[in-house]
Structure 1
Amino acid sequence: MIQETSLREAENLIKSLKVVILDFYAEWCIPCKAVEEILEQVLRVFRSRSDIAFLRIDVEKEKDALGRFEVYGLPTVIVFQNGVEVRRFSGVPRNFGVELTRLIKSLSS
C-alpha cells in the first residue's frame, strides 16, 4: 500500500532515500483514483526495495504541499532521485504504469 504522508515527512524521505515517488491527490479527484491503482501495481514490482518509497499527500490536509512542490493540478506524481526531481507526471498519461516502472528501474539500478 502507498504510504500516506505529511509534507514534513515527505521532505525528509526525499532527502534520505534513493528514489521517491510522490503522489499528490484529493479524495474528490476521480482521476487520482486511477493513478492510485496504477501506482499500487507499480509498487508491487519494487515492494522488496528499501531504498524506494511510494508516498501520497492529500492536498486537502497538507495545503502547503501544493506551493512547496509547485503542483498546479491533480493528480500529479513527482519522481525524485537522491533528493532531486527527475520527472513529473500530470493527469493520467497514456502508458503511465509502464513508463513509471521503466523510469524507476533505470534510477534505482
Structure 2
Amino acid sequence: MITLTAENFEEQVLRSGKPVLVDFWAEWCPSCRMVAPVLEEIAEEYGDRVTVASINFDENPEIAAKYGILGLPTLNLYRDGEVVQQIRGAKPKRLLLADLEPHI
C-alpha cells in the first residue's frame, strides 16, 4: 500500500495509469483501523488491477477538503484523475469488492 501526502497525491493518484483506491483515515478513527487489514489484502490480491493507497486525513486537510471528505473512513476510487466511486464507512471485504469490481 502506498502512503500519500499532499506532495505526491497528484503524481501517484491523478496521473496513475491504473485505478487508485485511496483510503482517507486518521489515528483516532477505530473504523479506519478495522478496514486497514482488508485494504492490505485487496492490495496484495488485486495489485495488478488497482493501486491501493492511504492518506492521513489530519495531516493532509487540503486534499480531504478538495474531495469533500467529511467522515472516516472514506475510500475514493480514482480513474484517469476523477473519482468514479466513493465508499463511506468500514465494510467487509466482499462488499468493498462488489463496489469496486465495476471500475477495476
User: TM-score of the superposition, structure 1-length normalised?
Assistant: 0.81
Q: Give, in angstroms, the shift of residue 13 of structure 1.
A: 2.2
Q: Which runs of 4+ in 1 moved over 4 A?
A: 102-105
Q: How many residues align?
A: 103
Q: Give, in angstroms, the shift of residue 59 of structure 1.
A: 1.4
User: TM-score of the superposition, structure 2-length normalised?
Assistant: 0.84
Identity of aligned residues (%): 21
CA contact (8 A) 1:22 1:57 kept: yes
Structure 1: runs of 5+ lacking an equivalent: none
Aligned-pair Cα RMSD in Å:
1.8
CA contact (8 A) 1:3 1:54 kept: yes
Q: Give, in angstroms, the shift of residue 77 of structure 1.
A: 0.5
Structure 2: runs of 5+ lacking an equivalent: none
- Aligned pair in 2 of structure 1 residues 99, 82: CA closer, same or farther (>3 Å)? farther
In the alignment, which residue of structure 1 is the partner of 2:10? 11
CA contact (8 A) 1:31 1:91 kept: yes
In the alignment, which residue of structure 2 is the partner of 1:100? 96
